[in-house]
C-alpha cells in the first residue's frame, strides 16, 4: 500500500478523473490509486466505525433508477463516513412520471447544491450522458449490462487483500457473462493488473467473441476448476433476458453451481466471490456460500472502503479545479 492516513488531506497528483464511469478507461496506475486509497480508508476508519470529515459540506445525490440494496446503502454510508450529506432519489415518485427528461431532473437536483451524483440506470451510457451535461462529479453505479466499476474494484480489492497481488492469478468469472455489468468491469480491471481471466458458462451466455478481450472462454466448469485461484460466481440476470438461456435452473445448478464436491476438486485455498445478491442453490450452495473459502461478506465490507475512496478522489479533483 502506497498511501497512509497522512495522505487523506491530498489526493495523489496522478489521479485526474473528474468522474468514475468505468474501469475500461482507467490506467493501471489509476486502478492502484483507488485500491490503495480504499486500503487507507479501511485502516483509518478501523473497519468503518469512525468518521473522517474530509467531505464535510459536500452533498451526494443517489439517483437509482433500478433496485439496489448493497450499492445504494454502501454509497450513502461511505459519504456519511466522510462527513458529507446524501440525498436519495426515487424515480417512481419523481417528476419523471410527469414527463420531465432525465437531464432536466438531474440538473434540478444539481442546482440544489449537489457535488456528486451516483447513478444507476438500466440504459448503458446514462452516467456518461450525465457527465456531459452536469458540472457535478458522476459515479457509475451500474449502467445496464455495460459496467459496474465500484463492484469490479471491490472484487479486485478483496482478491488483492487475500493474495497480495493479482499478477499471475487465474480468475474465473462463472455464470451470466452476457448480461453482467460486473463481468465487464472485472475483465478490464483484472487484465490490467496482470490476472488471467476465464469466462465460464452456458454457450448462450458466453460467446466466443469474448476472446477478443484477451480472455479464455470455457463452457465446462469442471474442466477449468483445477486451474482457478479465484471463482467469481455471477448471478443469472433473468430480469434482463427476453428468453430463458438454458433449459432449467436445475440443469444450470448441476453444471455450474459451486458445491462441496467441486470445492474438494479445486485448488487449496481457492477464493469464492459473488457480487450478490446470491441465489442459494443456483450459483452456489449454502455450505460453500457460508464456508471457509467464501469471501462474500468481505466483498461487502470492502465495498464501503472502495466507495469512500472513489468519492474522495472525484471530489478532490473538483476542489483542485476550483483552486
Write out pLDDT tens, residues 245-294.
Answer: 777 889 999 999 999 999 999 999 999 999 988 999 999 999 999 999 99
Q: For cell 438531474, what's the residue?
A: 106
- The pLDDT, as a whole number, for residue 317 is 86
CA distance 41 to 261: 38
The C-alpha torsion from 216 through 221 and 225 to 230, rounded to 10°, is: 70
Sheet holding 170-174, edge to edge: 216-218, 196-200, 170-174, 230-233, 271-273
Q: What is the mean pLDDT of residues 25-29?
A: 97
6: pLDDT strictly greater than 80: no
Contact between residue 34 and residue 313 where contact means Cβ atoms under 8 Å apart? yes
Q: Which residue has the higher pLDDT, 136 or 322?
A: 136
- The pLDDT, as a whole number, for residue 2 is 66
- Max Cα distance, the chain (Å): 59
Residue 160, helix vs strand vs coil? helix
Span 140-167, pLDDT tens digits: 999 999 999 999 999 999 999 999 999 9
Cα dist from 307 to 8, 291, 300, whole Å: 15, 27, 11
- The pLDDT, as a whole number, for residue 195 is 98
Contact between residue 80 and residue 135 where contact means Cβ atoms under 8 Å apart? no
Grade residue 26 by pLDDT with cuts at 50, 70 and 90: very high
Is the model's pTM score more than 0.85? yes
Min mean pLDDT across 239-248, 251-260, 301-310 is at 239-248
Q: What is the mean pLDDT of residues 75-93?
A: 89
Grade residue 48 by pLDDT with cuts at 50, 70 and 90: low
47: pLDDT strictly greater than 70: no
Residue 127, helix vs strand vs coil? helix
Min mean pLDDT across 7-16, 92-101, 119-128 is at 92-101
Q: C-alpha cell of 18?
A: 473528474
Amino acid at each position: 500500500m502506497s498511501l497512509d492516513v497522512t495522505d487523506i488531506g491530498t489526493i495523489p497528483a496522478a489521479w485526474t478523473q473528474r468522474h468514475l464511469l468505468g474501469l475500461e478507461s482507467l490506467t493501471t496506475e489509476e486502478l492502484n490509486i483507488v485500491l490503495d486509497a480504499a486500503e487507507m480508508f479501511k485502516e483509518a476508519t478501523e473497519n468503518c466505525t469512525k468518521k473522517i470529515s474530509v467531505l464535510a459540506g459536500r452533498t451526494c445525490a443517489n439517483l437509482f433508477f433500478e433496485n439496489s440494496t448493497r450499492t445504494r446503502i454502501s454509497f450513502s454510508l461511505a459519504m456519511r463516513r466522510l462527513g458529507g450529506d446524501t440525498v436519495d432519489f426515487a424515480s417512481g415518485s419523481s417528476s419523471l412520471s410527469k414527463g420531465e427528461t432525465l437531464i432536466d431532473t438531474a440538473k434540478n437536483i444539481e442546482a440544489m447544491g449537489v457535488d456528486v451524483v451516483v447513478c444507476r440506470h438500466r440504459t448503458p451510457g446514462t452516467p456518461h450522458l450525465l457527465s456531459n451535461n452536469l458540472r457535478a462529479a458522476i459515479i457509475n453505479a451500474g449502467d445496464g449490462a455495460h459496467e459496474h466499476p465500484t463492484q469490479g474494484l471491490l472484487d479486485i480489492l478483496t482478491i488483492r487483500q487475500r493474495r497480495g497481488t493479482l499478477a499471475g492469478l487465474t480468475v474465473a468469472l462463472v455464470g451470466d457473462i452476457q448480461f453482467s455489468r460486473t463481468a465487464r468491469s472485472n475483465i478490464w480491471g483484472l487484465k490490467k493488473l496482470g490476472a488471467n481471466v476465464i469466462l465460464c458458462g452456458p454457450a448462450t451466455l458466453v460467446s466466443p467473441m469474448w476472446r477478443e478481450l484477451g480472455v479464455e472462454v470455457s463452457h465446462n466448469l469442471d474442466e477449468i476448476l483445477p486451474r482457478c485461484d479465484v471463482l467469481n460466481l455471477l448471478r443469472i440476470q433473468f430480469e434482463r433476458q427476453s428468453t430463458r438461456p438454458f433449459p432449467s435452473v436445475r440443469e444450470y445448478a448441476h453444471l455450474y453451481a459451486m458445491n462441496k464436491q467441486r470445492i474438494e476438486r479445486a485448488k487449496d485455498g481457492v477464493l469464492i466471490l459473488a457480487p450478490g445478491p446470491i441465489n442459494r442453490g443456483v450459483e452456489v450452495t449454502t455450505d460453500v456460500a457460508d464456508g471457509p473459502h467464501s469471501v462474500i461478506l468481505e466483498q461487502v465490507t470492502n465495498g464501503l472502503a472502495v466507495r469512500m475512496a472513489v468519492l474522495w478522489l472525484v471530489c478532490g479533483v473538483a476542489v483542485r479545479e476550483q483552486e
